Amino acid sequence: MSSDSKERFASISPAEFFKRNPELVGFSNPSRALYQSVRETVENSLDATDIHLILPSVKVSLDRIDLEKEVYRLTIEDNGIGIPPQVVPNAFGKVLYSSKYTIRQTRGMYGLGVKAVLLYSQMYQDRPFEVQTSPRGSNRVYYFKLKIDISRNEPIIFHRSSIENPTGWHGTIITVYLVGDWLRSKQKIYEYIKRTYILSPYAEFTFRDPEGNITYYPRVTNKLPRPPEEVKPHPYGVDIELLKYLIATLRYQYDVRSFLINEFQSIGEITAEEILKQAGVSSSTPASKLTDDQISKLVEVMKKYEKFRPPSADALSTLGEELITIGLNKVFSPDMVSAETRKPKAYQGHPFIVEAGIAYGGAIPPSEFPIVLRYANKIPLVYDEKSDVIWKVVEEIDWRRYGIEENQFPLVVLVHLCSTKVPYKSAGKESIADVEEIEKEIKFAIMSAARQLRLFLLERKKQEDERKRMLTYMKYIPELARSLAVFEASNENEIDSRAKELEKKLIEIVSKKVGLNDPTLYDKLKVEIS
């Protein structure tokens, strides 16, 4: 056999891979790249604050610094937990390095976000990335200038220094230079910040755009959502590779029985014995000595076993009905808001919770389709709206059933999916795939929130009908009052004043009759009558 000597094999680093495929992580063109860079950095800032019980203050500024090439300087400052100096180079300079590879709900989850920003940054311009950080409790501020060595997937450090931190400030400031397209991304960036703010009314944001406009989004409440807790994997979410990985990284020399009990949720002594019996594995086998056959048998049994409690929802952090209501009220000033947080459910061993909010009327512009606000793990999803399962569900809802009669109506539908594993359609995290269990919950959440809308619209219609009824009666009041006055009055001069008195009395009677206690309404209605 002769081998084809032209065939050449090579291996590339993860950094090289994402540099070659920037569109996979949302960097398909300068406009998308600018938006995605704002988004990844804002998400990191929020992950460094709210889940650590810090009320977030985030400042974003974008400056155009090169008029010829469209180069922007993006600066993000937060008051988060900061980053220990020894991990800064890897956190920013090594693709697939993260503090979030645990089972709990965070915005970031791939260890990719900010590195994708850097890779893109250094592809089209030469300035390094700058980080300034002071970890919570540290008395120093650390300063770095970095790039990524793409072929080795390692940080290159151009500068590192530190100074004393006299103010007690903690947090992170990063500065990155990007070739972008502000005019094309402007609307999406503003939309992204506004939507982030709706779902985090406990945060304050300042945004300075390249045109010099400054927008301040004030904190509306000091109430933070309950932070997520780190949990162990659920047996339904386990596959052969995960089981091997767990065994290889064990800190203790367990027998397989203790391994199952200690490293998984929902497995107690009895369950462990039962699983091992079904898999034909002896309880005293050391976990590290399990054969490939035994491992695959164990996974098979665990997948089929029907008596596990569902996965724990402690790892999730919903916003809650109160905060959703606050956010929608603040941004839309509607006539009605309602919200619903569903009970935890699971798909493929991953817990999830869906919440929904509905806002109607007020300052919301009417249109033929509701404004849909999609969120996953507190991140607003702004692109690829129509391929998202949330959109699909909203599209299937018949709003007339909830009392909407017009063709154009002022309605906002917000849906938030929380999960330790959001089934995104791509690593750019812009739309959620159709998973049957999730789809159902989205539908139920919207429907319960919408029931409040139905009640509100019914009540409003009742009031409207009463108003109309009152108007009909009132048309006759002046005439009736005058006729009665003519009857009653002892002389000509009294008629006018008597008519006025009677008119007032009649209005009172009619108002009471239709359940309206505001006599001044009559003056307002008079205009409508004539």
342 binds, among ligand ADP, Mg ion, none (CB under 5 to 8 A by kind): none
Among 93, 113, 201, 357, binds ligand ADP (CB under 6 A): 113
By the rule CB under 6 A, 104 interacts with ligand ADP: no
Question: x/- site string to ligand ADP, residues 121 to 160, per CB under 6 A?
Answer: ----------------------------------------
Phi, psi of 352, rounded to the nearest 5 degrees: -150, 155
| Least distance CB 234 / ligand ADP (angstroms) | 22
By the rule CB under 5 A, 79 interacts with Mg ion: no
Distances (CA, A) of 177 to 116, 170, 174, 201, 239: 13, 24, 10, 29, 41
| Least distance CB 113 / Mg ion (angstroms) | 3
* Number of neighbours of residue 174 by Cβ within 10 angstroms: 23
Among 13, 36, 41, 44, binds Mg ion (CB under 5 A): 44
How would DSSP label each residue in 42-84?
A: HHHHHHTTGGGT---EEEEEEEEEETTTTEEEEEEEE-S----
By the rule CB under 5 A, 108 interacts with Mg ion: yes
Q: Which of residues 255-284 bind Mg ion (CB under 5 A)?
A: none
Tokens 């109160």 label which residue? 322
Contact 372, 413 (CB under 8 A): yes
Among 31, 57, 75, 99, binds ligand ADP (CB under 6 A): 99
By the rule CB under 5 A, 80 interacts with Mg ion: no
Give the range of 44-52, 278-286, 430-438, 512-520 binding Mg ion by CB under 5 A: 44-52
By the rule CB under 6 A, 109 interacts with ligand ADP: yes
Strand, coil or helix: 416: strand
By the rule CB under 6 A, 376 interacts with ligand ADP: no
Phi, psi of 317, rounded to the nearest 5 degrees: -135, 100
Give the helix/strand (H/E) hosting 410: none
What does the angle CA 119 – CA 122 – CA 126 come to, to the nearest 5 degrees?
170
Give the range of 108-116, 145-153, 185-193, 341-349 binding ligand ADP by CB under 6 A: 108-116
Total residues contacting ligand ADP (rule CB under 6 A)?
Answer: 22
The whole-angstrom separation of Cα 193 and Cα 178 is 19
By the rule CB under 5 A, 26 interacts with Mg ion: no
Two structure tokens written together for 367: 């249109």
245-257 core/surface letters (b: 16 or more CB in 10 A; e: else): ebbeeeeeebbbb
| Least distance CB 379 / Mg ion (angstroms) | 10
| Least distance CB 134 / ligand ADP (angstroms) | 11
Tokens 């935890």 label which residue? 344
Q: Classify strands 71-78 and 204-208 as parallel, antiparallel or unpaired.
A: unpaired
Give the range of 31-39, 110-118, 243-251, 411-419 binding ligand ADP by CB under 6 A: 110-118
Tokens 């409040």 label which residue? 452
By the rule CB under 6 A, 176 interacts with ligand ADP: no
Strand, coil or helix: 2: coil
Phi, psi of 529, rounded to the nearest 5 degrees: -65, -45
Alpha helices in 397-493 (DSSP H): 436-488
Two structure tokens written together for 255: 């027998």
Cβ-based nearer residue to ligand ADP, 176 or 364: 176
Among 26, 56, 93, 111, binds ligand ADP (CB under 6 A): 111
98 binds, among ligand ADP, Mg ion, none (CB under 5 to 8 A by kind): ligand ADP
Strand, coil or helix: 87: coil
By the rule CB under 6 A, 100 interacts with ligand ADP: yes
The whole-angstrom separation of Cα 36 and Cα 34 is 6
The whole-angstrom separation of Cα 372 and Cα 394 is 8
Question: x/- site string to ligand ADP, residues 36 to 65, per CB under 6 A?
Answer: ----x---xx--x-----------------
Q: Which of residues 14-33 bind ligand ADP (CB under 6 A)?
A: none
| Least distance CB 520 / ligand ADP (angstroms) | 56
Task: Indicate the residue whose CB is closest to Mg ion.
Answer: 108
| Least distance CB 133 / ligand ADP (angstroms) | 7
Tokens 């817990």 label which residue? 351
Question: Any idea what DSSP says for residue 369?
Answer: S
| Least distance CB 167 / ligand ADP (angstroms) | 18
Among 22, 26, 56, 80, binds ligand ADP (CB under 6 A): 80
Tokens 């959502």 label which residue? 225
Which residues contact ligand ADP (rule: CB under 6 A)? 40, 44-45, 48, 78, 80-83, 91, 98-100, 108-115, 172
Which residues contact Mg ion (rule: CB under 5 A)? 44, 108, 113
